Amino acid sequence: MSPIRNLFLYSLILVIKSFQQANATVGPGVYVAPGHLPYQVSISTAGLLCGGVLYSEIVVITAAHCIYDGTGKLRSASDLLIYAGSVEQFKGEMRTASSYVIAPNFVNRGGLHDIALIKLTQPFQLGTKIQPVRIAENGVYFQPGTKCILAGFGQKDSSTSLKEVTVRIRSGTVCRAINARTWDANTMVCAGGLLGEGNSCGGDSGGPLICNGVLYGIVVMGEDVCSGTMATTYTNIAKYHDWIIQTANSFGSRINSNNEIGHDFKGYQFKPMPSLNNMNGMKFNWKSFQYQSSNSQSQWQSQSSS
């Protein structure tokens, strides 16, 4: 056999192996071990599944469209159930919301300014399975090709367990081609959809995009069919850094401009956020809208962690 043919066959084998390995995580992603992503929460109301991220013991970051029902009406804050501390959706510790704030100029069903902060009726007890996330600083920018982690409870199969997948930041040109109607390079990023990468599924809205250990995006637009062939659009957290801190502080979180928690948690040592070095693989609101629950006595309960 000639050297040229040998080289061709060897190259073909490498391509086939690469394709098989790359497609191992398309769609379902890989299951997350308890405590691995301690800031991830699941949000439920009237059959709606959304993801979210714990910013402090009393504040959750999610997508603004998760606050709306199927008819485009705002939900009551007390209808929002937030679960943390478990890798199974709607398990672990549960809290209800007392109020929420939607970002200025949010456009429902368009993805623009699609971010909201939820205030809880009672704080979560922080520990090894429940911890706040660190958000990207104002001005932080990750280049196209940067590998990040997408996580969520969105379902492609019958599983209800938390999954994660590695995705790469895409260029603005690609993002605009995917979401030409509402793409805004100033407030959005997109990632995933390359050969062999997984992607968001229905139910992942509001969930995190973690780059270099910090929250860089939350899911706002993706694929319900979970084919993994189209990039997911995210709200760019770095662009909302100051708004998040100011709004969270109005809730009583006492987090300063350096994204540091001012509370004394009795010496508890927070575990560093995961980084790629140790991981596998309709309406306009022209001002911030805050909804206060009419039920000032909203109750909360704790369920056993899975």
pLDDT given for residue 159 in this prediction: 66
SS3 43: strand
Q: Are residues 222 and 171 in the same domain?
A: yes
Q: Are residues 251 and 112 in the same domain?
A: yes
pLDDT given for residue 245 in this prediction: 95
Q: Are residues 227 and 138 in the same domain?
A: yes
Q: Is 305 marked active-site?
A: no
What are the pLDDT digits (tens) for 178-187?
A: 877 888 999 9
* Residue 10: pLDDT over 80: no
What is the Cα–Cα distance from 26 to 229, expressed in whole angstroms?
Answer: 9
Q: Are residues 105 and 191 in the same domain?
A: no
Which of 42, 56, 65, 98 is flagged as catalytic? 65
The residue that leads in pLDDT, 295 or 76, is 76
Q: Are residues 147 and 199 in the same domain?
A: yes
What is the Cα–Cα distance from 215 to 218, expressed in whole angstroms?
Answer: 8
Q: Are residues 162 and 253 in the same domain?
A: no
pLDDT given for residue 229 in this prediction: 67
What is the Cα–Cα distance from 182 to 190, expressed in whole angstroms?
Answer: 13
Q: What is the mean pLDDT of the chain?
A: 75
The helix or strand, by DSSP H or E, that contains position 148, with its residue range, turns out to be: strand 147-152
Q: Are residues 138 and 29 in the same domain?
A: yes
Band (pLDDT 50/70/90 cuts) for residue 13 is very low
- What is the average pLDDT across 225-244? 85
What is the Cα–Cα distance from 81 to 127, expressed in whole angstroms?
Answer: 20
Question: Residue 16 falls within a domain, yes or no?
Answer: no
What is the Cα–Cα distance from 106 to 118, expressed in whole angstroms?
Answer: 15
Question: Residue 15 falls within a domain, yes or no?
Answer: no
pLDDT given for residue 213 in this prediction: 95
What are the pLDDT digits (tens) for 194-220?
A: 766 777 777 789 999 999 999 999 999
Q: Are residues 139 and 234 in the same domain?
A: yes
Q: What angle do CA 192, 198, 202 make, to 5 degrees?
A: 95
pLDDT given for residue 15 in this prediction: 31
pLDDT given for residue 111 in this prediction: 82
Which of 205, 293, 298, 305 is flagged as catalytic? 205
pLDDT given for residue 43 in this prediction: 94
Q: Are residues 142 and 90 in the same domain?
A: no
Q: Are residues 177 and 68 in the same domain?
A: no
* Residue 169: pLDDT over 70: yes
**Partners of 221 in the β-ladder:** 233
4-8, 131-135, 160-164: range with highest mean pLDDT: 131-135
pLDDT given for residue 143 in this prediction: 95
What is the Cα–Cα distance from 116 to 219, expressed in whole angstroms?
Answer: 12
8-12, 19-23, 231-235, 257-261: range with highest mean pLDDT: 231-235
What are the pLDDT digits (tens) for 262-296?
A: 433 333 333 444 443 333 333 323 233 333 333 33
Identify the CATH number of the domain in which residue 169 sits: 2.40.10.10
Q: What is the total count of domains within the chain?
A: 2
pLDDT given for residue 42 in this prediction: 94
Q: Is 306 marked active-site?
A: no
The residue that leads in pLDDT, 178 or 60, is 60
pLDDT given for residue 104 in this prediction: 92
Which of 42, 78, 114, 200 is flagged as catalytic? 114
The residue that leads in pLDDT, 86 or 290, is 86
- Evaluate if pTM is beyond 0.85: no
Question: Residue 219 falls within a domain, yes or no?
Answer: yes
Residues ≥6 apart with Cβ < 8 Å to 246:
none
What is the Cα–Cα distance from 64 to 74, expressed in whole angstroms?
Answer: 10
Q: Are residues 234 and 139 in the same domain?
A: yes
Question: Residue 275 falls within a domain, yes or no?
Answer: no
Question: Residue 223 falls within a domain, yes or no?
Answer: yes
What are the pLDDT digits (tens) for 27-48?
A: 447 888 999 999 999 999 776 7
Residues ≥6 apart with Cβ < 8 Å to 215:
39, 53, 61, 133, 134, 135, 136, 208, 209, 237
Q: Which domain holds residue 145?
A: 25-33+134-238
CA-nearest of 125, 43, 42 to 77 is 43
* Range in 39-53, 92-106, 244-258 with the lowest mean pLDDT: 244-258
Q: Are residues 46 and 98 in the same domain?
A: yes
pLDDT given for residue 288 in this prediction: 36
Q: Is 205 marked active-site?
A: yes
* Range in 113-127, 134-148, 258-272 with the lowest mean pLDDT: 258-272
